[in-house]
Amino acid sequence: MYREGRLEIMTRAADEHRAVAGVFTDRVRGVRPGAWDNPAPCEGWVARDVVRHLVEWFPDFLKAGAGVELSKGPLVDDDPVAAWTVHSDGVQALLDDQATAQRMLSNQHIGEVPLDQAVDRFYTADVFMHTWDLARATGQEERLDPGRCAQLLDGMLPLDDVLRKSGQYGPRVEVPESADVQTRLLAFIGRRP
C-alpha cells in the first residue's frame, strides 16, 4: 500500500514537472535572437540569467541532498536553449524513474523529504514562477495557469516571514485584493506585474 501511494505521488510530481517545464521550454525556445540580454524582472538579471538560475542551483541542491548528479549540457552563455533542454530532460528522467519513489533528500533547512516531493515543492514551483520572468523579459505570453498560481499562493501566504527571511524573495509589492491570482502571486514574491 505504501509503495503504491508513493508511486502515485511520484507520478503527480512527474506530471506536474512535465507540464510546468513544458511551458518554460516553450518560452526558452521562443526567445528571439538578441533578446537573451534583455533585462529581467529580477534585479540585476537579464533573460539568460533566468535560465542560468534554474540550471545552476538545482543540480547542487540534488547532489548535496540526495547524491543525484544530473547530466550537464552546454554553458548557458554558449547555448541557453540546449543548456535548459539537457537540464530539464534530466530532471524529468529522474522523476519518471520509479526508483526515485524510494529516495529521500536531506537538507539542513527542510529536513528529510521524499525526493520527488522536494523536486516538486522547491524546483518545479521555481520553474513555474520564473516562467513569468522569462516571458516578461523577452516579450512573450505572460499568462500563468491560475490554478497553479492559487495553489502556490495559498501555500506561501502562511510562510510569509520565513520566505522573506530566506532572501529568496523581494519585498512584497502591494496590489489591490481584487487583483487576479497571478498578479497577487507575483506581487507576493516581489515582482511588479
Per the structure, how many domains does the chain have?
Answer: 2
Do 134 and 186 lie in one domain? The reply is no
Indicate yes or no: pTM above 0.85: yes
Name the phi and psi angles at 67, rounded to 5. 70, 20
| Whole-number pLDDT of residue 116 | 94
Do 137 and 161 lie in one domain? The reply is no
Do 170 and 78 lie in one domain? The reply is no
Do 45 and 103 lie in one domain? The reply is yes
| Whole-number pLDDT of residue 159 | 85
How far is it, in rounded angstroms, from Cα 27 to Cα 24? 5
| Whole-number pLDDT of residue 6 | 45
Do 73 and 109 lie in one domain? The reply is yes
Range of the domain at 169: 144-193
Q: Is the dihedral of CA 66, 68, 70, 76 positive or negative?
A: positive
pLDDT, tens digit only, all 193 positions of the chain: 344 454 565 579 999 999 999 999 999 999 998 999 999 999 999 999 999 999 999 999 999 999 999 999 999 999 999 999 999 999 999 999 988 888 999 988 888 999 999 999 999 999 999 999 999 999 999 999 999 999 999 999 998 888 888 777 888 999 998 999 999 999 999 999 8
What is the domain-level CATH number for residue 113? Answer: 1.20.120.450
| Whole-number pLDDT of residue 161 | 85
Angle of helix 125-138 relative to helix 47-66, nearest 10 degrees, comes to: 170
Do 150 and 59 lie in one domain? The reply is no
Name the grid cell of 11.
Answer: 507520478
| Whole-number pLDDT of residue 137 | 98
Do 129 and 148 lie in one domain? The reply is no
Do 81 and 156 lie in one domain? The reply is no
